[in-house]
Amino acid sequence: MNAPVIKRISSVAKLGDLRERLRAQKPAGGGSGTRQILVCFGGSCLASGAKEVRDALRLALEAEKLGDQVALVETGCMGPCVLGPVVMVGEDRTFYQGVKPGDASDIVKQHICGGKRVERLLVYDAAGKTPAPCREDIEFFKRQTQIVLRNCGWIDPERIGDAIARDGYAGLAKVLTECTPEAVIAEMKASGLRGRGGAGFPTWLKWHLARESADTVHYVLCNADEGDPGAYMDRSVLEGDPHSVIEGMAIAAFAIGAQQGYVYVRAEYPLAVERLSTAIAQARACGLLGANILGTQFSFDLEIRMGSGAFVCGEETALIASIEGKRGEPRPRPPFPAQKGLWGKPTVLNNVETYANVPAILQKGGSWYASMGTPKSKGTKVFALAGAVRNTGLVEVPVGTSLGELVYDIGGGIRNNRHFKAAQIGGPSGGCIPREHLNVPLDYETLADLGAIMGSGGLIVMDEDTCMVDVARFFIEFVQEESCGKCVPCRVGTRRMLEILNRICEGQGEMADIDRLIQLGHFIKTASLCGLGQTAPNPVLSTIRHFRNEYEEHIRDRHCRAGVCAGLVRAPCLSACPVGVNVPGFVSLVGEKRYAEALRLHRERNPFASVCARVCFHTCEDKCRRASLDEPVSIRGVKRFMVDQEVTVQVPEVRENAANAKRKVAIIGAGPAGLSCAYFLARLGYQPDVFEAEPRPGGMLVQAIPAYRLPREELAREVRMIEHLGVTVETGCALGRDFTLTSLREKGYESVFLAVGAPLGVALDVPGANAHGVTEAMSFLRQYNIRGSVPVGKHVAVIGGGNAAIDAARTAIRLGAQSVTVLYRRTREEMPAYAEEIEEALQEGVTLRTLVHPESFEVEGGRVTGIKCRAMKLGEFDRSGRRRPEGAEDAACEVLPADQVIVAIGQALDEKALAGAVEVERTSRGWVKADPRTGATSAPWLFAGGDVVAGPSSVADAIAAGERTAVAIDAMLTGAEHAFWRGYSDPGVAFDTSADPVAYSREKLPAMPLERRRQNFAEVEQPWNESTAVRQAKRCLRCDYGKQPCDCGQA
């Protein structure tokens, strides 16, 4: 360390002089203002090579003979840990990320010498297009208010002069000369600061109580036993700005009349211990610790005590016991430490962050601090953003900032374009906040209302790949291991909770387990001795509260939707498939060129192999573990190749059954749900009758999905296959018009499956909506797809952001529209349409206008001529976790000319068709109410499934509903379940467990050239050739290999 030796500072005035002197020679090290390079030496940057970067920078400076002109400062954590190592250069604070030693000479030559920024090292916006060169330009920093972190990243923590130059010890100096202890406490009261360790007890009150406790000896303790998984706020402060903590403790000592303090740091924080030790030694040398500080009567000294890593030692009484050399475990309170603490003496115990606030409060005043935050929680809070968020790191925001702001504005949203699922706040004592509550202000009361706690500030962001049951299991496993074992509820109760959760995660749970967990959780909370036990069940209780359906799926369906729980997931792709197709099976069969077997395996669970090869949304690929190596297996691509190899139609086992064949089952609606139901019933020997209102079977597949995505012959072939199994499809036969539910019953149908979908479009209720030229997407698409022609305008506007909107737009382009504009009120990221469809549409010439809202239609002579649109901006988060579009009153309106408007804002039931003698129970949202597992409705013989139950959803979901209903109808008719296809099917393919994964990267399916797409409906996507397909199939990692057969298919 080459810090200049600073002599003992004998008075407050001399501290002021020194500060001025240090500022004048700024920056530390002797460089001039613009010539300073700050290298982040926070733990995360060190781990990613900050030392090597510093060495390289030094060499580069020396090579340019700038070694004594440019200061190289090693600072504490700058915040954006994910970008490390980070470096800040010059007075304009150019911020470089991901710096490698090899970048050093560019930084020195190009920036320091040449005055030109190194563009490639700058931070870019989410789209990766616009650079944010300076610290102040970066979203991550823009919205922060740094009090605790005021010096982190700006000073060399090992040089006390750096701290003094930035007002270090100024607060203490002011206190020692201008304040009485009572005045200090009054100032703290005015600030409204609450303990940042988690519980939020008013800091001033703690100090007041300790001061009031009559005793000659008092102690000041600092809790730096930060142990929450994912939290590192305190570590970063100790590493980056230890002097603020020392100063805060000295002020507390002055206020309560203590002369000795201890900092209790985890031994796992060696760097923090080292820097704090250095800081204490320097402060002592400067007379800022020890006897007669700054020449006053006040004496105070500090020692470090290392904790051996017991989580419970973060509890104050356990921490005190540990300092005393006893087993670190809590004792009953009262007496509170303020009355009887370390060695029985009145003791103030605050955490690192709390103390780091204190100097600023005393320097700038309590009311300054209280001007930030919420009415009940003042000031700022530091969070350690971790998990699935883009910008992980350390951030400080005013208390009351919303979770959404933290995750999206500062955190940059979710990595890999996933969706936010929940945030775990407060560590093992905290809870999970789901996306419905992205808007909540992060303050003590609101979080408590949601079943979480502020905690010390660990904030773990989770996406859909996180299983909430597993999260609960993880945290309860942590606390049950970290419980001190003293009191029974915590020691035994948490263990019993873990056992129940383990059972659930292994597929051995019972429905009653959920209530058991709740009961046990409440018991542990109310009965435990200390804060650890009293909060230990929070992660479980909060996940049950917000994600009960996931628990139920684990127990009832033996299904883990996130694909995490090993006991429930044979392979994540298989688990993610709503239909339960044996994905690794058919993919690896394709890899062995056994196409017929692959097809049969696919059709074990899904008759529509060819359809799904084209239109499936492939949730399987989202969960593919190959993504952790490079990119997911292109499962749909492999499937596409597979179905193209079908010469004779491959049907798996069909069990003839004369008894079943005689029983009459009616299916209303020949969409994917109805036809799948028919298919599976036929495989059980039934011969169901399918009634379809439209002239052609296929439902949405034929009515809505354009032929360029799904060639009609492909669909027809698979419908014919189903008919060949003994299914009768009667088209042009509509419920409500040609027959009713009652009439079916009268004809002797023992069971009826209602799968009529949600065929109607939803109109937009704005002025001019009835004008000629305004239509809605469903009828537009249906008219073209069934009748073969539909009127199309020259300038078409499509309103909406879903698949129907994109299908309508692309259809209009093909039918000769000169311009097609899709209007959407949110941004492209929020559009529900498949991303690849949007991309194709844009390539084909569709224009996308986002953040616009149609106010009214311009009408001339009864014909629409345009749309008056209001510009929108994204406001607060709604319950779907998306930002709600808001139109400001004064927002600009513009008129978009259009002679045709296609409204694609939703789908609805055909109420007329449903109206009949049979009363069908509905959900609150108007859909038919049916058991999601069986399709059973309020009438014992009537089943329902597909869009009529779930609202518009995917083809795969509809197929799955059909399969489930087939099983349920059979069970209703025969009294037993015969779903023989649901068992485990071993694909019987070779797999070399010792081989490395093949290196081939993912390939896209080739597409028809753009110029050939216009004016026709030929299929856009083209298959691979065989060698490509086989290569791609071999990318599968075979996650299913060796897994015990389990009946965890989605049944």
**Burial (Cβ within 10 Å: 0-12, 13-18, ≥19) of residue 276:** buried
Number of chain residues interacting with other proteins (CB under 8 A): 34
CB of 446 to other proteins, least distance (A): 18
d(C-alpha 918, C-alpha 735), whole Å:
12
104 close to 53: Cβ distance less than 8 angstroms: yes
Tokens of 472: 């609960």
Query: What is the SS3 assignment for 997-1018?
Result: CCCCCCCCCCECCHHHCCCCCC
Q: Does residue 1021 interact with other proteins by CB under 8 A?
A: no
Residues 319-338 that bind other proteins (CB under 8 A): 327, 329, 331-332, 334
Lay out the site mask for other proteins across 776-815 (x = CB under 8 A, - = otherwise): ----------------------------------------
Identity of the residue, 534 or 827, whose beta carbon is nearer to other proteins in the bound complex: 534
Shorter beta-carbon distance to other proteins: residue 26 or 491: 491
387, 416 Cβ separation under 8 angstroms: no
Piece of the chain touching other proteins by CB under 8 A; list 528-536, 734-742, 752-760, 1040-1048: 528-536
The label of the residue with tokens 């980056």 reads: 240
Stretch of 153-161, 521-529, 675-683, 790-798 contacting other proteins, by CB under 8 A? 521-529
CB of 233 to other proteins, least distance (A): 25
Please check whether residue 136 is in contact with residue 391, taking contact to mean a CB–CB distance below 8 angstroms: no
CB of 494 to other proteins, least distance (A): 7
| Site for other proteins contains 748 (CB under 8 A) | no
**Binding segment (CB under 8 A) for other proteins, from list 23-31, 526-534, 629-637, 827-835:** 526-534
534 lines the binding site for other proteins (CB under 8 A): yes
Residue numbers 268-327 binding other proteins by CB under 8 A:
310, 312, 327
Residue 568 near residue 505, CB atoms below 8 Å: yes
Which residue number, 168 or 493, has a Cβ lying nearer to other proteins?
493
Which residue number, 136 or 481, has a Cβ lying nearer to other proteins?
481
Cβ distance to other proteins smaller for residue 481 or 630: 481
Binds other proteins (CB under 8 A): choice among 253, 389, 454, 520: 520
Strand order in the sheet with 458-463: 393-398, 380-387, 458-463, 420-425, 431-434
* Nearer CB in complex with other proteins: 494/650: 494
Q: Is the peptide bond before 334 cis (omega within 30 degrees of 0)?
A: yes
**Would you count residue 199 as binding other proteins (CB under 8 A)?**
no
Give the SS3 label for residue 849. strand
Q: Looking at 322, 377, 439, 528, which residue binds other proteins (CB under 8 A)?
A: 528
- Does a cis peptide bond (omega within 30 degrees of 0) precede residue 932? no
Among residues 523 and 834, whose Cβ is nearest to other proteins? Answer: 523
Cα pseudo-dihedral 619, 622, 623, 629, rounded to 10:
150
Q: At its nearest, how many Å lie between other proteins and the CB of residue 403? A: 25
User: How far are the Cα atoms of 161, 168, 352, 359 from residue 174, in angstroms, in the given order?
Assistant: 18, 11, 21, 10
CA pair distance 471, 200, nearest whole angstrom: 25
Q: Which two tokens stand for residue 559?
A: 């299904």
Least gap, CB of 322 to other proteins (angstroms): 13
In terms of CB distance, is 242 or 328 closer to other proteins? 328
Provide, rounded to whole angstroms, the least separation between the CB of residue 468 and other proteins. 22
Quick check: bond before 27 cis, omega within 30?
yes
Of 362 and 524, which CB lies nearer to other proteins in the complex structure?
A: 524
Pick between residue 494 and residue 660 the one whose CB is nearest to other proteins: 494
Question: How far, in Å, CA of 879 to CA of 866, rounded?
Answer: 32
CB of 267 to other proteins, least distance (A): 16
48 or 494: CB nearest other proteins:
494
Provide the minimum distance between the beta carbon of 309 and other proteins in the complex, in angstroms, as a whole number: 11
- For residues 75 and 528, which CB has a smaller minimum distance to other proteins in the complex? 528
Which residue, 512 or 629, has its beta carbon nearer to other proteins?
Answer: 512
Question: What is the residue type of 41?
Answer: F
* Whole-number Å distance between alpha carbons of 207 and 854: 59
Q: In the complex, what is the shortest distance from the CB of residue 487 to other proteins, in angstroms, rounded to a whole number?
A: 5
What is the torsional sign of CA 152, 153, 158, 160? negative
Which of residues 419 and 486 has its CB atom nearest to other proteins in the complex? 486
Alpha-helical segments (H) within 747-859: 777-782, 803-814, 835-843
CB of 489: closest distance to other proteins in angstroms?
Answer: 6
Q: How far is the CB of 532 from other proteins (least distance, A)?
A: 10
Burial environment of residue 523 by CB neighbours within 10 A (0 to 12, 13 to 18, 19 or more): middle
| Residue choice 124, 201, 523, 834 for contact with other proteins (CB under 8 A) | 523
What residues pair up with 260 in beta bridges, in sequence order? 219, 301
- Residue 538 is classified by DSSP as H
Task: Tally Cβ neighbours within 10 Å of residue 137.
Answer: 18
Instruction: Judge contact between 260 and 301, C-beta under 8 A.
Output: yes
Contact (CB, 8 A) for 458 and 236? no
Is residue 445 a contact point for other proteins (CB under 8 A)?
A: no
Least Å distance, CB 509 to other proteins, is 14
CB of 523 to other proteins, least distance (A): 5
Contacting residue, 189, 376, 516, 545, with other proteins by CB under 8 A? 516
Pairing between β-strand 942-944 and β-strand 751-754 as defined by DSSP bridges: parallel
Nearest approach in angstroms of CB 264 to other proteins is 18
Q: For other proteins, what does the binding mask look like between residues 468 and 507, x meaning CB under 8 A?
A: ------------xxxxxxxxxx-xxxxxx--xx-------
CA-CA-CA-CA torsion sign (672, 675, 677, 683): negative
Q: How far is CA 238 from the centre of its chain?
A: 29
Taking CB under 8 A as the rule, does residue 544 contact other proteins?
Answer: no
Return residues touching other proteins (CB under 8 A): 310, 312, 327, 329, 331-332, 334, 480-489, 491-496, 499-500, 516, 520, 523, 525-529, 534
